[in-house]
Amino acid sequence: MAHKILIAEDSPTMRALIVSTIAAMGDFDIVEAANGFEALRVLPREQVDLVITDINMPDINGLELVSFVKNNPRYRHTPLFIISTEGSKKDREKGIALGADAYLVKPFAPEELQALIRRHLYGEDAGDA
């Protein structure tokens, strides 16, 4: 059964890049949300195996989404990655402190995202990324 990944990203271009990066890995079901609010509406309807979110989004931002996911017993153990233009040490620490499992700064190397997905969904070592 294919893993299902929720992508919350307000930029259609960046969302398409993330989708193509994941699609290049093989068989994944991808659910797209254009903002944090839409992602919160998707979560109860879809059994997702991984959440990828931007930080800067309208309505509910990515940090609020991270906080919701990681404080909800239903999703607490669901891996969550942040992909953001906010790349300062303070931003990274805040995202990780809220419970994000990984933090990538845009622009990111597709191989880096693929390695993180393999590590968190399949337990594979990402030493080749």
The pTM assigned to this predicted structure is: 0.94
Strand order, beta sheet including 3-8: 28-33, 3-8, 50-53, 80-84, 102-105
Query: What is the rounded CA–CA span in Å between residue 108 and residue 92?
Result: 14
Query: What is the rounded CA–CA span in Å between residue 112 and residue 115?
Result: 5
Peptide bond into 44 cis (omega under 30): no
Q: What is the pLDDT of residues 71-97, one digit of tens each?
A: 999 999 999 999 999 999 999 999 999
Query: What is the rounded CA–CA span in Å between residue 98 and residue 113?
Result: 20
| 7 domain residue, yes or no | yes
**What mean pLDDT do residues 100-104 have?**
97
| 44 domain residue, yes or no | no
| 34 domain residue, yes or no | no
Q: Which domain holds residue 91?
A: 1-23+60-124
CB burial class (10 A; 0-12, 13-18, 19+) of residue 12? exposed
pLDDT at 5 over 90: yes
In the prediction, which pLDDT does 126 show?
Answer: 52
pLDDT class for 124, splitting at 50, 70, 90? confident
| 87 domain residue, yes or no | yes
| 79 domain residue, yes or no | yes
| 50 domain residue, yes or no | no
| 105 domain residue, yes or no | yes
CATH of residue 73's domain is 3.40.50.2300
| 41 domain residue, yes or no | no
Residue 39 near residue 6 (C-beta atoms within 8 A): yes
Q: What is the pLDDT of residues 22-78, one digit of tens each?
A: 999 998 999 999 999 999 999 999 999 999 999 999 889 999 999 999 999 999 999
pLDDT at 15 over 90: yes
- What is the number of domains present in the chain? 1
